Amino acid sequence: MILLKVKRREKLRKRRILGSTAIIPVLVLFLIFFQQYANIYRIKENTKTPYEGERIKENLDRGIIAMYNDSNSVYIGWRLLEDDPENITFNVYRVNSSGTPKKLNTIPINSTTDFMDTNPDLEANVSYYIRPIINGTEKGYSKNTTILNNVANTMFQLRLMEITLFIM
C-alpha cells in the first residue's frame, strides 16, 4: 500500500515536470512571434501620420456680433483669443450715423465676452466695436459690426407641416 502511494507520487511529480517543461517551448515560441509582430507594427518616433504634425493656428479676430434681443436691447458678443492675457478687460462702443463713438460700459468688462446695450439707438446706421484693455491701456479697435437682424422683434412663423391628432 505504501509502495503504491510512493509510485503514484513519483508519477505525479514526473507529470508536473513534463508539463512545466512543455510550457517553456510554447512560451519561447510565443515571445518570438510577438517580437516579430511588434517589430512589424511598431510606430517609430520619427514617423508621423498625415494627420499628425504641426497644428495650424487660424488667424481669428474678435468675431464681434450684435443682434436685437428684444424691442429695446441689443446683445453684443465677441471672442476671447488664445493669446489674450489673464487680466484682459474690454470696453464696448456704439457708433451712430454721426460717427461719434459712445462708450457703453461704465467699468471695463472682465468676467464675460458679451454685453447688453439696454438703451440702443434704433436708427439704421448703428454699429458696435470693442477695445481690449491690457495692463490699463486701451488697445486697437475690433472690426465694426452692424446689428444682424436689422428690424427689432423680427420673427418668422414657418408652417412646416400640419399635424392632426386623433384622440380616442
In tens, the pLDDT along 6-20 reads 566 666 666 655 555
Q: At 38, give phi and psi (nearest 5°).
A: -65, -35
Could you say which DSSP state residue 45 is in?
T
SS3 (DSSP) at 20: helix
Confidence band of 64 (pLDDT split at 50, 70, 90): very high
Q: Is residue 78 part of a domain?
A: yes
The enclosing domain of 101 has a CATH number of: 2.60.40.10
Asked if 79 and 140 sit in the same domain, the reply is yes
| Enclosing domain of residue 31 | 1-42
Summarize pLDDT for 73-119 with one digit per residue, the tens. 889 999 998 889 999 999 999 988 777 889 999 999 999 999 999 98
Number of domains making up the chain: 2
Asked if 71 and 130 sit in the same domain, the reply is yes
Contact between 68 and 154 under an 8 Å Cβ cutoff? The reply is yes
Summarize pLDDT for 24-49 with one digit per residue, the tens. 767 776 766 666 555 555 544 455 55
Asked if 75 and 34 sit in the same domain, the reply is no
Q: At 135, give phi and psi (nearest 5°).
A: 55, 40
**pLDDT score, position 141:** 81
Contact between 56 and 137 under an 8 Å Cβ cutoff? The reply is no
Confidence band of 160 (pLDDT split at 50, 70, 90): low
Give the integer Cα–Cα distance in Å for 164 and 141: 54
**Residue at grid coordinates 488697445:** 139
Q: Is residue 136 part of a domain?
A: yes
Give the integer Cα–Cα distance in Å for 124 and 162: 38
Q: Is 92 exposed, middle or buried (0-12, 13-18, 19+ CB in 10 A)?
A: buried
Asked if 83 and 139 sit in the same domain, the reply is yes
Q: Among candidates 164, 163, 168, 123, which has minimal Cα distance to 147?
A: 123
Q: Is residue 16 part of a domain?
A: yes
Asked if 74 and 24 sit in the same domain, the reply is no
Give the integer Cα–Cα distance in Å for 146 and 126: 6
